[in-house]
Structure 1
Amino acid sequence: MVKSAENDHGENRKQQEDDVILENTPINFTMSQTRKNNSSEGETKPQTSFVNKFLRGSKAESREEKNDLQTTDSQAGDWIQKAATSDAAKPLSSETELRSSVEENEQFLQKLGEKAVDKCLDLNNCGLTTADLKEMVTLLPFLLDLEELDISWNDFVGGTLHSITQQMHLVSKLKILRLGSCRLTTDDVRALGEALEMIPELEELNLSWNSKVGGNLPLILQKLQKGSKIQILELVDCALTSEDGAFLGQVLPVLQSLEVLDLSMNRDIGGSLNSIAQGLKSTSNLKVLKLHSCGLSQTSVKILDAAFRYLSELRKLDLSCNKDLGGGFEDSLAQVVMLKHLEVLDLHQCSLTADDVMSLTQVIPLLSNLQELDLSANKNMGSSSENLLSRLRFLPALKSLVINNCALESETFTALAEASVHLSALEVFNLSWNKCVGGNLKLLLETLKLSTSLQVLRLSSCSLVTEDVALLASVIQTGHLAKLRKLDLSYNDSICDAGWTMLCQKVQFLNELIELDVSLRPSNFRGCGRWFRHLLCAVTKLPQITEIGMKRWILPASQEEELEWFGQDRKRSIRFDHGGFQEADFPLSY
């Protein structure tokens, strides 16, 4: 996916002047080896109320609004308590009381920041306590236009969800409900199922990472009616059982608006794939189907293929990390060609066999809209993927090609290199852990020159030699990799100091570079040569660099002192990861 394939877009910043020298551009480095927390450990910080947490986290606040929003914990707490006791506990007896209550509500919403609260309440990963949740419940009656509620990654939600679901009828306009990793209990699951009837406008439901959903899925989905507006259903790592999968297959025809279905990391649903696939035939609007690590078998491919003819709108298909799929693709992909709009295909770590590769060779080149292809960690491809890789030239829209750790051989790498010249839109190119690249990087010379959109290049553990790095340095100098943002050359221990020197002298021309990794293998430690000085000089001319990986390179005392002097100014913060310190982060202060 654009996320798992590292799609990094951002505004181009103005290039620093070339005549900036090391002495007048000090930079603050954040060392990832010895971070020491200067704050006293064990100190107890004063408790902050839910309201103040929310006020400080409001994304909609402007500088002027912040001045108006300031309030003490006690003031906010007093107001909430007053609202809970006076408005919720007893009916208003007069028009005056009603007017007063409305005015107080409006004032409170204004204090919270109406833009932030009116339609969206995002408390994801806020460390909410039970008391915070009670305060949140008192807010719901005043958020009648609420459309999005996200309380994911808050452990204390578990066991208390009923207090929230009892108020769901007051937020009937809710469209997005996210409860990921909330430690939901069986009672929570039951309460949620009963509440779904009261939010007919719901479009997105995320219950991922709640193990109690497993075995209880019918309690949640059984109230869904035909015409449900749910577009996104995410149930990642919910310990779903085979019975849950069978029930889901029966419910899918009700979800006519479904566009995203993510069942990843539920290893027991493979046995109910027949039911799920049958249900998928009724979800013609489906755009994303994720079955990552779902215990799929060889027969699963045939079952899914029968459903593909009904999924003509599918954009993303993720079948990755199903190791038992290997051998199932042979003569089982007749309907994949129906996926004319498919943009992302993820088959990494699927134990693909030579026969699988032969079948994919007939299909993948026909997916003309494909933008991301991940075939990594399929080691049997090494000697059988020559034809497949050569046909990648027929994918003009391809932006991300991840083929790391596939045991490529000379012939297959040559075929890939020749095809890659035609991939002018390529942004992510990952060849890591393919030893045959070492000494043969020259085969990619034309690709590197023509890939004007390339942003991520990963060549980790490719047995690169000094000549390879010299070639790369030359390409960088000529400006052909001007858009590169991430460069990974780690675990290539055969490169000598002269090679690293050539590279570091030219890195300064990668004006948009954010990350550079030249780390050594875990078993190897070496002292930095003179090239380290060139790296520091290059950093002064890289306006966006934030991460430099140099694990297991040992800095002598003189170079550590140089680095300390270099980082005396705190205008910038760079994570500088090397073997001279312990594993941690700390900002240098000089």
Structure 2
Amino acid sequence: MSQATRSSSSHGETKPQLSFINKFFRGSKPKASRAGDREGTKDYKASDSTPSNETQKTTASDDAKPLTSEVDSGAGLERKEQFLQRFGQKSARTCLDLNTCGLTTVDVEEMAALLPFLPDLEELDISWNDFLGGTLHLVTQQMHLVRRLKALRLCSCRLTVGDVRALGEALGTVPDLKELSLSWNSRVGGQLPLILQKFQKGENKIQTLELVDCALTSEDGAFVGQLLPRLQHLEVLDLSINRNISSHLHTIAQGLKSTSNLRVLKLHSCAVSQESVRQLGAAFRHLGELRILDLSCNKELGGGLEGSPAELAALQNLEVLDLHQCSLQAEDVESLTQVVPLLSGLRELDLSANRQVGHCSANLLSRLRFLPALTSFRIHNCALQSQAYTALAEACGQLPVLEVLDLSWNKCVGGNMKQLLHVLWPQSLQVLRLSSCALGTQDLALMASAIQAGHLAALQTLDLSYNDSICDTGWTLFCQNVGLLQELAELDISLPPSACRECGQWFPYLLCAVTQLPKIRDIGMERWIFPASQQGKLASLEQDHRGSIRFAHSGF
């Protein structure tokens, strides 16, 4: 429905027309096909503004009257159930989740008409619906009827400028709001003060604010820094993928000093520099409750951790530290070496894609043994040297709950698998990634032996891709034993783009192993060419499992 059509229908020229809600709750005919609905929304979405004030007032007036005087509550509840069933929901007393439902303009109208019948609604999620843009005012006009709303999620909805302004006006009618997620809406950028104007007064309960990839401007960054002291209940702040706020990270850092309840801080890909990370370090002393810190993909950060172990050590409750792709230097590694033993509660550590780490991290990796709660360690593509790899292997023997280990793209692993395989705790490791590690036939033979011994009994994901130096003997030994990994769900043995080989005598063993793996779902075999003689067996296997197993391969 185009905006012009909506305006003329609301005013009427010859005789009054029933409002949408009146038609909806009095048993309107079933909707047209969803494809038709999508076509009907295109003209409406073409405009990047909300209807005029007069049109909005008329719509609000038409919508409000039937809810109180004309609609039978029993009929309304029945229509509510029909709407929910159409989207696979049985009940929506406190939660309405229409995430990724392909909502059309008509769907949004119907949903808005439901809100008066959901006075106890606490969570509303309409994220990832492309056609929602330009229609949000239909929802915000009714938002005062769900005053108990605590969580509002509008991620990736192609919100227009008119939408975000209408949202800012409506947020003042939901005093109990605790979570607001607007990520992946580029029109939020430049409008943030209008959206969060209600929070400026300091009378708010907001705990989660997510603004990932919202095209925030430098001015928005300054506004966030000024707003933070008023968000006394804030626990989660995600400003990731907003590089333009970098010029005001010092203001944000200053504001963070007032958020003592903060538990999650994510500044992934925000152009954090050496200087700004030092300014953030000064705020860490005030963030004793912080559990998750994500500074990843900030290549300008390298060298900024030098001389700041005391600031990082102040995060004594930290559980997740993500520093991948930060161009870490030797000085940064030295600071982390001093800090890591003090973060005894750390569960996840990611140092991946920092190639300087591989040359100077032996001391750091040896101190991982002081992290008894560590469940995930990622250090792929770090150019690890043999001394650092040996230190890591020894430390892994003292990590009883390690579930995820990613060593991909470190060539030193090849020829040295023995150091690692026999120290891993068999009851814990679930994900092992060894892509492009220069593994050889002997390495795969050692893995087959470790599988026989039960050292990888809990493994769910095994990535051996891009290791093209393994001969058929090695693959045969591996495939003869992989069937013992009863928890295995994902296996990748793809070849690198530069290679292409025919499967050898080991392929029948792999097909046999698949029948013994009750949880297997994905098998990556890109650039392996299957022998034509095995085509029937593979087709039969896929048919027996009714498509539940996906073979990614290059054909016969």
Q: TM-score, normalised by structure 1?
A: 0.81
SS at the partner of 1:223? Answer: helix
Paired residues, what number?
A: 498
Q: Which residue of 1 aligns with 2:246?
A: 270
Query: Which AA in structure 2 matches 1:284?
Result: S
1:376-425 deviation per Cα after TM superposition (whole angstroms, max 9, x unaligned): 00001111111111111111110000000000011111111111111111
Please name the residue that 1:63 is paired with: none
How many angstroms apart in 2 are the aligned matches of 1:92 and 1:310?
Answer: 50
Name the aligned partner's letter for residue 382 of structure 2.
C
Partner SS for 1:106: helix
Q: Take 1:161 and 1:398, find their aligned partners in 2: how far apart are those partners? A: 43
Does the CA-based 8 Å contact 2:284-2:311 persist in structure 1? yes
Against the structure 1 CA distance between its residues 566 and 138, is the aligned structure 2 distance closer, same or farther, given a 3 Å change threshold?
A: closer
SS in 2 for 1:117: coil
| Whole-angstrom CA distance in 2 between matches of 1:156 and 1:352 | 42
Structure 2 counterpart of 1:178, from 153, 166, 172 = 153
Indicate if the aligned counterparts of 1:305 and 1:332 stay in contact, CA closer than 8 A.
Answer: yes
Please show how residues 10-409 of structure 1 align to structure 2 within 5 Å: 46-47=33-34, 88-89=64-65, 101-111=72-82, 112=84, 116-224=91-199, 225-409=201-385
Question: Among residues 575, 580, 584, which one is paired with 2:550 in the alignment?
Answer: 575
Report the Cα distance in structure 2 between the residues aligned to 1:209 and 1:312, rounded to whole angstroms. 30
Separation (CA, whole Å) in 2 of partners of 1:144 and 1:392: 51
Say if 1:564 and 1:520 are closer, same or farther in 2 by CA, change over 3 A: same
SS at match of 1:573: coil
- Cα distance in 1 for partners of 2:447, 2:488 equals 15
CA distances 1:489-510 after superposition (whole Å, capped 9, x unpaired): 0001001000000000110110
In the alignment, the residues of structure 2 paired with residue 336 and residue 49 of structure 1 have an alpha-carbon distance, to the nearest angstrom, of 56
Rounded Cα–Cα distance in structure 2 between residues aligned with 1:312 and 1:228? 22
C-alpha separation in 2, matches of 1:395 and 1:279 = 31
462-471 or 138-147: bigger deviation: 138-147
Q: CA 1:559 to 1:144, structure 2 compared with 1: closer, same or farther past 3 Å? A: same
Q: SS at 1:501's partner residue?
A: helix
Which has the higher mean CA deviation after the structures are superposed, 333-342 or 538-547? Answer: 333-342
Tell me what 1:24 maps to.
none
AA of the residue aligned to 2:131: F
For 2:92 and 2:509, how far apart are their aligned partners in 1?
51
For 2:27, the equivalent position in structure 1 comes to none
Against the structure 1 CA distance between its residues 522 and 92, is the aligned structure 2 distance closer, same or farther, given a 3 Å change threshold?
closer
8 A Cα contact 1:455 1:483, kept in partner: yes
Task: Pick from 462, 482, 507 the counterpart of residue 507 of structure 1.
Answer: 482
If asked which structure has higher relative contact order (CA below 8 Å, sep 6+), I would say: 1
Alpha-carbon offset, residue 46 of structure 1: 3.5
Alpha-carbon contact 1:109-1:117 (below 8 Å) kept: no
1:496 aligns with 2:483: no
Q: Aligned in 2, Cα 1:559/1:285: closer, same or farther, shift over 3 Å?
A: same
User: Per-residue CA shift, 1:439-497, capped at 9, x if unaligned?
Assistant: 0111113323x342000000000000111111111010111211100000000100100
In structure 2, distance between residues paired with 1:115 and 1:578: 40
Q: Distance in 1 between matches of 2:172 and 2:309?
A: 40
Question: Which letter maps to 1:255?
Answer: L
Aligned-partner residue type, residue 468 of structure 1? D
Letter in 1 for 2:76: N
Name the residue aligned to 2:497: 522
Distance 1:48 1:146, change over 3 A: farther
- 2: CA distance between counterparts of 1:314 and 1:92? 47
Question: What amino acid does structure 2 have at the position aligned with 1:46?
Answer: S
Q: Superposition pairs for residues 550-565 of structure 1, below 5 Å?
A: 550-565=525-540
Matched position secondary structure for 1:144: coil
Q: 1:400 to 1:183 in 2, by over 3 A?
A: same
Is contact 1:49-1:132 (8 Å) kept? no
Shift of the alpha carbon at 1:553? 0.5
Report the equivalent of 2:439.
464
How far has the Cα of 1:277 moved from its partner? 1.0
Counterpart for residue 424 of structure 1: 400
Alpha-carbon distance between aligned partners in 2 of 1:150 and 1:378, rounded to the nearest angstrom: 37
With the length of structure 2 as denominator, give the TM-score of the two structures: 0.86
Q: Residue type matched to 2:189 in 1?
A: G
The residue matched to 1:567 in structure 2 has which SS?
helix
SS of alignment partner, residue 486 of structure 2: coil
Percent identical across equivalent pairs?
A: 66
Report the equivalent of 1:537. Answer: 512
Unaligned runs of 5+ in 2: 1-31, 38-59
Asked if structure 1 preserves the Cα contact closer than 8 Å seen for 2:523 and 2:551, the reply is yes
Q: Deviations over 1:55-79 (max 9, x none)?
A: xxxxxxxxxxxxxxxxxxxxxxxxx
Q: Is the 8 A contact 1:268 1:294 kept in 2?
A: yes
For residue 219 of structure 1, report the CA deviation from its aligned partner: 0.5
Q: Equivalents in 2 of 1:89, 1:183: separation in Å?
A: 30
CA contact (8 A) 1:513 1:544 kept: yes
Give the Cα–Cα distance (whole angstroms) in 2 for the partners of residues 109 and 383 of structure 1.
Answer: 62
> Is 2:140–2:166's contact at 8 Å kept on the other side of the alignment?
yes
Give 3-state SS (helix, strand or coil) of 2:237's partner. strand
CA distance in 2 between counterparts of 1:174 and 1:115 reads 20
2:386 counterpart residue number: 410
Does the CA contact (< 8 Å) of 1:305 and 1:333 recur in 2? no
Once residues 125 and 438 of structure 2 are traced to their aligned partners in structure 1, the CA distance between those partners, rounded to angstroms, is 46
The Cα shift of 1:92 comes to 6.1
For 2:302 and 2:242, locate their aligned partners in 1 and report how far apart those are by CA, in whole Å. 19
Report the CA distance between 1:322 and its aligned residue.
0.1
Match of 2:428 among 438, 443, 453: 453
- 2: CA distance, partners of 1:319 / 1:426: 23
Aligned 8 A contact 1:301 1:332 in 2: no
1:295-323 CA deviation, whole Å, 9 max, x = no partner?
A: 11001221011101111010000000000
Displacement of 1:101 in angstroms is 1.6
Q: Write the distance in 2 (CA, Å) between the matches of 1:222 and 1:86.
A: 28
